[in-house]
Structure 1
Amino acid sequence: MTRVLEDVERAEDTALTRAAQRGDATALGLLLERHRPGMRAVALSLLGPGPDVDDVMQDAALVALRRIGDVRDPAAVGAWLRMVVRNGSRTALRAARRTEPLAEVPLPPALTTPEHVLDKHALRDWIWEAVEELSPALRLPVVLRYFSTGVTSYQQIAEACGIPVGTVRSRLNQARAGLARALEATAAGAHEDARRRTEEGWLEVHETLAAAERGEYDKVVADRYTPDVTLLSAGRRLGGSGLLVAGMEGDLSAGVRQHPANVIAGRSLVVWEMDLANPPDAPDHCPPGVAWIMTLEGGRIDRVSLYHTPRPASTVQATA
Structure 2
Amino acid sequence: MDISSRAAPADGGRASARPLIVITMRFSVLVAQRESWAIGRGRSEADYRRTLFDDERLALHHFLFENLTLPSLAAQVPAPSEEFVRLYVITSSELPPRHLSALEQACARHRWVRIVRVPPDARSVAHGDHIRDFLAEAGHGEGTYAHVRLDDDDALSSDFLSRIAAFATPGNVGACVSLARGYLLSFDSGRRRLTQVVDYRLPMAAQGLAHLGAYKDRAPVGKPANVYGLGHHLRVDTKVPVILDSRAPAFIRTNHEGSDVQFGGRKSFPAGEPVDPRDLLTLFPSLANLAGGAAS
Q: Pick the TM interval, shorter chain.
A: under 0.3
Q: Scaled by the length of structure 2, what TM-score is found?
A: 0.26
Higher strand share: 2
Structure ranking higher on relative contact order (CA contacts 8 Å, 6+ apart): 2
| Higher alpha-carbon Rg | 1
- Structure with a larger share of its residues in helix: 1
Q: TM-score when scaled to structure 1?
A: 0.25
